[in-house]
Structure 1
Amino acid sequence: MMLRGALVPGMISLLVFPTAFWSYAGEHAALSALAGAGTVFVVLLAGLLGITAVVLGPAATSMAGAGVVYLGQLILIVAVVLALRSVDWLDGRAFALAAIVQTLVMQVGQIAGYLRARHEIHPGALDGGAGS
């Protein structure tokens, strides 16, 4: 549920951001927005899959595994930024703005997916025990 919650809004954002930047600032801004949003989309989905694997593993290594996933995400984003810093078409503001907003959109989608996927463990516990 969390994956779908992040995937759908993230894919919609991949279409919306470049279109908005194209109409506002032109072709280079649109490509830059697509690169920023696409980078975050791929990195966050990889992180979701990575953290899913960590949670399915032994509980004793969960925190260390989560740290490795987070560090891996940071390394991937820095690698993309370093690879794209010398291209002449990159508009840094469009890249950064699209990346930041894409992150927010996907995080909100993840939280919404998490909330939809939760299951009540003890029925009636939240309503004062009326179900008991």
Structure 2
Amino acid sequence: MSVPAAVGPPNPFAAMTRTAFIPTLLVGPIAIAIAFFAGGGRAAGGAALGYAVTIAFFLLGMIVMNRFAANTPPLLFMATALAVFFGQLIFLLLVILFLQNADWLDGRAFGLTALAVALVWQIFQVVGYLRTRRLVFDEPTTPASSPSEASPRHTA
């Protein structure tokens, strides 16, 4: 007779990554095609680099969150998620600032593609998180008594 494994809360990172990754994969080729038709090969290259850099940042953020925040209490989880999110945005801003004077790169295509990919990733990441139905409060340590046990009725 085997003992069934305890079923815990679903891993929100797998759900968020699955939900965000597919729509984000679709945005990149569309942005690259628009950049190509609007500005040529240099713009398409900038869009492709913006796409690749942004996806790498957000996937890395999910890996960091899965590694360090998977089993944290709900309030600490949200604080960690916000810290990782702001860290990702700051790092992406630093990359954009570093590449702003690159002659070989169409900065407008890079930036607009990075912005589109980041927005799509964040929107669908939130959708994936909401679908996990993760608690946003700590579970009570003692079971609450039912109303009938808390105040017995007196009959006359």
- TM-score per shorter chain, which class? 0.7 to 0.9
Which structure shows the higher helix fraction? 1
> Within the alignment, does 1:114 sit opposite 2:129 as a pair?
yes
Larger radius of gyration: 2
The one-letter code of the counterpart of 1:98 is T
Match of residue 95 from structure 1: 110
Task: Mark the runs of 5 or more structure 1 residues left unpaired by the alignment.
Answer: 121-132
Following superposition, the deviation at residue 27 of structure 1 comes to 0.8
Q: 1:55 offset after TM fit, Å? A: 2.2
2:96 matched residue in structure 1? 81
In the alignment, the residues of structure 1 paired with residue 106 and residue 29 of structure 2 have an alpha-carbon distance, to the nearest angstrom, of 18
Q: Distance between the aligned counterparts of 2:127 and 2:93, measured in 1?
A: 28
CA gap of 1:54–1:63, structure 2 versus 1, over 3 A, is: farther
The CA distance in 1 between the partners of 2:130 and 2:77, in whole Å, is 21
| Alignment RMSD (CA, Å) | 2.7
User: TM-score with structure 1 length normalisation?
Assistant: 0.72
| Alignment partners' CA distance in 2, 1:113 and 1:38 | 22
CA 1:109–1:85: 2 relative to 1, 3 Å: same
Give me the whole-angstrom Cα distance separating, in 1, the residues matched to 2:113 and 2:81. 25
Q: Size of the alignment, in residue pairs?
A: 120
Give the gaps of 5 or more residues in structure 2: 1-14, 136-156
C-alpha spacing 1:103/1:67, structure 2 compared with 1 (3 Å): closer
